[in-house]
Amino acid sequence: MAELSVRMRELVQPHLTGIEPYDPMFSPCRINLSANENTYPLPSAVRAAIDEALAATPLNRYPDPLANELRDALAARHGLERTQVCVGNGGDELLFNLLLAFGGRGRALLTCPPDFSEYAFFASLLETDVVRVPRDPETFAPNIPEALHAARSANLVIVTSPNNPTGDVLPLEFVEDLCHACPGIVMVDEAYGEFADEGVSAVPLLGRHANLVVLRTLSKAFGEAGIRCGYVLAARDVIDVFSAVRQIYSVNVLTQAAALVAVRSRDAYAPVVERIRSERERLHAGIEALISATSAAGRVWRGQGNFLLVRLPDAARLRERLRDEYSILVRDFSSAPGLAGCLRITVGTPEENDAVLSALAELLKGDES
Ligand SMILES: *Cc1c(COP(=O)(O)O)cnc(C)c1O
């Protein structure tokens, strides 16, 4: 991670002097469970259909700026109209555009950290103040009364369900109350929505709240983090804003083609999602058993995404040993605010999860002696 040079600090806009490039702390490993990707192979029929679609895509023409065919497929998936969908170059672009359109100097974004670090990062790029209502330090439950109070004077709210990295989902009444309380836009980031239980998505609330925006992505359950495609669902006039501020050709022809196949094949993903959900429960039980078998103080939280948040003794060192001795990469949050001692482990394939459990068993046992 490089700080800006002295020379560049004088040249960039004053509010950008402290920025540093995002560092996903990636190093090549046999098992990468650090980025909440879907580590299962794409269903083979889907992969074949994508390859065919890509091969048939001309590269000499500009993309359809709004990706209307893809919007139609997404709208159909969610029982909405095309005019209620905007696609982006990953959910990240849409988060940036949300801040670009509705944030800005002298305006406030409300968040409930620990949450996705990109929210505060994009807010800082766009000079948006961040009002933080932290979660309970032990349970990570959001502070609902405080958040509702703060929402009344916020221009923008972003909440996450399931939340990254804590894994919990928000009660829908809370989302509705936020929509009533906030005079501006309320975004519910559902990047992990497909992994959660039935009935926790805010999508059905869109008809009732004109200031609600739901963010989704093809990067997680759909197993297409590499193609960079996300989308927002909202009322038509909100979508008009997203459509107006976006980089015109940000979603390229190959991405549009691959995403269209994936969305139309969504039923083929159901067994993979089911598998990840059951592996998540198995991994949770396994880690819980390891913690109680050692005298080590630790905790693993229940989560509804494709990852688990764990607190283990000497977490930063443990993460290094997993990487260096077992070639397993997990995400270290132990120096992030509110997440002391915490690692986030993506739920992988059964073999990958077994490797994590046996490595942790050895490392935690060694820790005891
Ligand atoms: C992964 C993720 C996203 C979006 O990721 P993209 O790959 O940019 O679509 C958004 N929000 C959260 C909380 C995430 O974890």
Indicate if ligand 1 lies below 6 Å from the C-beta of 255: no
- Cβ neighbours of residue 310 under 8 Å, at least 6 residues apart? 287, 298, 299, 300, 301, 342, 343, 344, 345
**Mutation probe of ligand 1 site: the residue of 98, 217, 304 with most atoms within 8 A of C-beta:** 217
Q: Is residue 158 domain-resident? A: yes
Q: Are 108 and 207 in a shared domain?
A: yes
Strands 328-329 and 307-311: unpaired
| 15 to 18, 28, 101, 124: CA distances (angstroms) | 7, 34, 18, 8
Strand 85-88, strand 230-234: pairing:
antiparallel
Q: Does 190 fall in a domain? A: yes
Percent of the chain with pLDDT over 90: 93
The reply to whether ligand 1 has any atom less than 6 angstroms from the CB of 217 is yes
Among the candidates 200, 232, 264, a domain finishes at 264
Report yes or no on 16 lying in a domain. no
Cα(126)–Cα(103) distance, integer angstroms: 7
Q: How far is the CA of 222 from the centre of ligand 1 (A)?
A: 12
Q: Calculate what percentage of the chain has a pLDDT beyond 70.
A: 98
Residue 75: per-residue pLDDT: 98
Task: Transcribe 208-245 into DSSP letters.
Answer: T-TTEEEEEESSSTTS-GGG--EEEEE-HHHHHHHHHH
Closest of 233, 253, 251 to residue 242, by C-alpha: 233
* 154 and 301, same domain (yes or no): no
52 and 37 in a common domain: no
**pLDDT value at 94 more than 70:** yes
Regarding whether 101 and 29 lie in a shared domain, the answer is: no
283 shares its domain with 196 = no
Whether 5 is covered by a domain: the verdict is no
CATH number at residue 36: 3.90.1150.10
Which of 38, 116, 229 should be mutated for ligand 1, with most atoms under 8 A from CB?
116
Residue 174 has pLDDT above 70, yes or no: yes
The verdict on residue 17 lying in a domain is: no
Looking at the structure, tell me whether residues 255 and 317 fall in a common domain.
no
- Long-range interactions of 264-272: CB distance < 8 A, separation 24+: 264/73, 265/43, 265/45, 265/46, 265/49, 266/77, 266/222, 268/43, 268/45, 268/46, 269/43, 269/46, 269/194, 269/221, 269/222, 269/223, 271/43, 272/38, 272/40, 272/43, 272/221, 272/223
- What's the confidence (pLDDT) of residue 108? 98
Task: From 264, 293, 323, give the residue that closes a domain.
Answer: 264
Out of 239, 264, 289, pick the residue that ends a domain.
Answer: 264
| Residues 34 and 140 grouped into a single domain | no
Number of folded domains in the chain? 2
pLDDT at 1 over 70: no
Mean pLDDT of 161-169: 98
331 lies in the same domain as 252: no
Atom of ligand 1 nearest to the CA of 189: 11
Predicted TM-score (pTM) of the model is: 0.97
Asked whether residue 108 is assigned to any structural domain, the reply reads yes
* pLDDT tens digits for range 269-303: 999 999 999 999 999 999 999 999 986 789 999 99
Amino acid 112: pLDDT? 98
Query: 290 and 258, same structural domain?
Result: no
Which CATH number fits the domain that encloses residue 209?
Answer: 3.40.640.10
| Residue 367 scores a pLDDT above 70 | no
Confidence label for 189 from pLDDT (cuts 50, 70 and 90): very high
> 311-365 pLDDT, tens per residue?
999 999 999 999 999 999 999 999 999 999 999 999 999 999 999 999 999 999 8
Residue type at 288? Answer: E
To the nearest whole number, what is the mean pLDDT of the chain? 96
Same domain (yes/no): 92, 185? yes
pLDDT at 17 over 60: yes
Q: Is the pLDDT of residue 220 over 60?
A: yes
Kindly state whether residue 3 falls inside one of the protein's structural domains. no
**Domain around 111:** 44-264
pLDDT at 368: 57
Indicate if 172 and 235 belong to the same structural domain.
Answer: yes
Give the separation between CA 101 and CA 352, rounded to whole angstroms: 41
Q: Could you tell me if residue 361 is inside a domain? A: yes
